[in-house]
Structure 1
């Protein structure tokens, strides 16, 4: 498969690049000197695009199949400035970054429909769609360098206003910087700047 000039492979049990992935890629806000962290890398496509524009990328995912898929796609594109680690959000992250990227699991899923398999973790946001988003907002600030930024993707189904409010409470300047209307929802890119 190909997006722009980047070749990639989709993998079994790994969330494939879709509208939300491309919304993030097309609106990356990266400086050449940035050290970037991507949470939930999936196939690694966002990290590959980021690596073309920045100093280093650390890519994480909770899904071991995604880790393998991302490694293969990084090798396919000969990217040497990407490090990939298995991690549940920031569990195995030890450094601070200029920019954190996250295409969140944002879909509201009832307890009856919930599945604990690796693939579902890419899109299952719990009953409100906010289970992982709220954990991320709570934990992310300590992993940012001074004047650091965050770009996250979520759905209008998972309460954009609450995300904006929660970032503001943590001392960020925050705004919706891109929107893609898809079927029954708006996929939004939210950008937060640490004050």
Structure 2
């Protein structure tokens, strides 16, 4: 999936969570009539994966380097991809989609506010890791067509059940459809002491569980 993709400096490269979400995407029925949205596209890897299966894809990212990267990768792969810069909710007002893909920032951070610049925007997500996740959940009913599906990946560390319950309260049929265990990367390792003090990680923990949340708007 990521072979041959460009990534400008500071743009999140496809990693284990990207590949995990791509596997979940393979189980969805896509085609020329599918309107898809990717929130936080990065290199465009997932958006291009969907476009390659015939979907009409809009990708949004708050990072200009990511937007440029995704556009370049779409040109290189000769796939149609609409890439927009800015906040996903602001850039999609009045539109509805059959599928939403999201690999949002989900790493708990000692800083409550989201970073305004830098590569940390791709992973830092507030004290509990849920700042962007909760916004996506709240926006999903307005963005999905009846029968539309949200596929989101995030760490169990920031509360898979909380995501399922939040989506259910908003009228979506939500569940965890897949789990995977991955080794901690450098960001989590650098925050070990803080994560342990917050009760978000056990002492000597070396891996985290990723989950796929699938929610359908009924």
Q: TM-score range by the shorter chain?
A: over 0.9
1:19 aligns with 2:16: yes
Check 1:72–1:171 CA distance in 2 against 1; reply closer, same or farther (3 A cut): same
Larger proportion of helix:
2
**Stretches (4+) displaced over 2 A:** 112-116
- Does the Cα contact within 8 Å between 1:181 and 1:187 map onto a contact in 2? yes
- Please name the residue that 1:153 is paired with: 153
- Please name the residue that 2:163 is paired with: 163
Normalising by structure 2, what TM-score? Answer: 0.83
Q: Distance in 2 between matches of 1:67 and 1:142?
A: 24
- Does the Cα contact within 8 Å between 1:106 and 1:133 map onto a contact in 2? yes
Q: Give, in angstroms, the shift of residue 112 of structure 1.
A: 8.1
Query: What are the equivalent positions in structure 2 for 1:76-155 lying under 5 Å apart?
Result: 76-80=76-80, 82-94=81-93, 95-111=95-111, 115-155=115-155
User: Secondary structure of 2:13's match?
Assistant: coil
- Does the Cα contact within 8 Å between 2:112 and 2:126 map onto a contact in 1? no
Normalising by structure 1, what TM-score? Answer: 0.92
- Please name the residue that 1:10 is paired with: 7
Measured on the aligned residues, the alpha-carbon RMSD in Å equals 1.6
What residue ranges of structure 1 are gaps of 5+ in the alignment? none
Check 1:112–1:58 CA distance in 2 against 1; reply closer, same or farther (3 A cut): closer
- Please name the residue that 1:67 is paired with: 67
- How many residue pairs were aligned? 191
Query: Larger deviation: 24-33 or 97-106?
Result: 24-33
- Does the Cα contact within 8 Å between 1:36 and 1:54 map onto a contact in 2? no
Larger proportion of strand:
1
- Does the Cα contact within 8 Å between 2:141 and 2:171 map onto a contact in 1? no
Q: Give, in angstroms, the shift of residue 92 of structure 1.
A: 1.1
